[in-house]
Amino acid sequence: MSLAEFARAASTWLIPLLLLAIPLLAAVRRVKVYEVFIDGAKEGFGVALRIIPYLVAILMAVGMFRASGAMDLFVTALSPVTAALGMPAEVLPVALLRPLSGSGTLGVVTELMKTHGPDSFIGRLAATLYGSTETTFYVLAVYFGAVGIRRTRHAVAAGLAGDLAGVVAAVLLCRWIFG
Residue 142 is predicted with a pLDDT of 77
Domain boundaries, the chain: 50-178
pLDDT digit string, tens, across residues 145-159: 778 887 888 888 999
pLDDT digit string, tens, across residues 37-59: 898 888 888 877 877 887 787 77
C-alpha of 35 from chain center: 30
Q: How many CB atoms lie within 10 A of CB 151?
A: 6
Q: Are 136 and 163 in contact (CB under 8 A)?
A: yes
DSSP type of residue 133:
S
* Alpha carbons 158 and 168: distance in angstroms, whole number: 15
- Place 4 in a pLDDT band, splitting at 50, 70 and 90: confident
Q: Are 127 and 109 in contact (CB under 8 A)?
A: yes
Give the Cα-Cα-Cα angle 161, 100, 166 (nearest 5 degrees).
Answer: 35
Which pTM does this prediction carry?
A: 0.68
